[in-house]
Copies of this chain bind each other. A is one copy, B any other.
């Protein structure tokens, strides 16, 4: 039987991917308090905001204010999502507040066109310039590839194509490549086969899995990835965000569900699950609605009884 990694790294993406998908704009002070609470749970990677155009995503129009105000422990590596060079310049005014940037594109032309209005080649050219500038500022770069496991417009996306894009991102300076299952089309066998190839073709960089729970398979896909050595994941507290379409569908896997499974399996994360559940309860209070995270509802497994 395959072995599991002894520990994994988790990047919490809720403050960006989650807050951005809320219909109401969350007050800046609440965002700051929630990010700082997340940092206090032991999370070592947090995507704190995005420098997209404020008129396009008003939910994150306060990116500068969030960066300016947050105070995070030195153990936390903060990342910001950067759509283009203009966004990077905006973020660089608060250079000392973050350590990583995340640049993204899709593996399928039609999704990339709908999402960022560019061809994949156009996106790669832009990311190349953005990563070069970010690295000149000492920032670590993650390239994220959406629709890596399937595209809602094009269907299957060949692994070779995804990995060719990943190679281009690495050549452009990415030290980490994230593979997004944007609309929850991945299955565990596909995940296993994909990462077996990916690990061989990109041995020098960190490979990160970003799964969605759209069809309930999010943690099964995590398990499949763990079995082929993936030890870096992205998830969202409270199960926020991650393109929850159609209505009622779920997006990102919930960080507390992921952490619960990992801890129960004896895999270390450095995260205090009880504190994380409290923080998710906090965002539930801010949003005024029940969230989809299972562990938030059921509580962590209690073996003490």
Contacts and interface: CB of A to CB of B under 8 A. Distances in A.
Interface of A: 1-2, 4, 150-156, 184-185, 187-190, 192, 196, 213-220, 222-224, 227-228, 246-250, 253-254, 257, 260-261, 264-266, 290, 293-295, 297-305
A1 B227 contact: yes
Contact of A215 (B249, B250, B260): B260
Contacts of A261: 187-188, 215-217, 220
Contacts of A301: 150, 184-185, 187, 215
Say how many copies of this protein the assembly contains. Answer: 2
A216 B295 contact: yes
A7 B302 CA distance: 35
B188 A305 contact: no
A265 B215 contact: no
Interface of A is mostly: loop
Contacts of A260: 215-217
B155 A213 contact: no
A269 to B, nearest CB: 14
A150 B187 contact: no
Contacts of A299: 246
Contacts of A187: 261, 264-265, 301
Contacts of A250: 294, 297-298
A154 B223 contact: no
Contact of A189 (B219, B248, B254, B265): B265
Contact of A217 (B1, B151, B196, B257): B257
Contacts of A290: 248
22 contacts: A1-B196, A4-B189, A150-B303, A151-B305, A152-B305, A184-B301, A185-B303, A188-B261, A190-B264, A214-B294, A215-B257, A215-B260, A215-B294, A215-B295, A215-B298, A216-B257, A216-B260, A217-B260, A217-B261, A220-B223, A223-B224, A248-B290
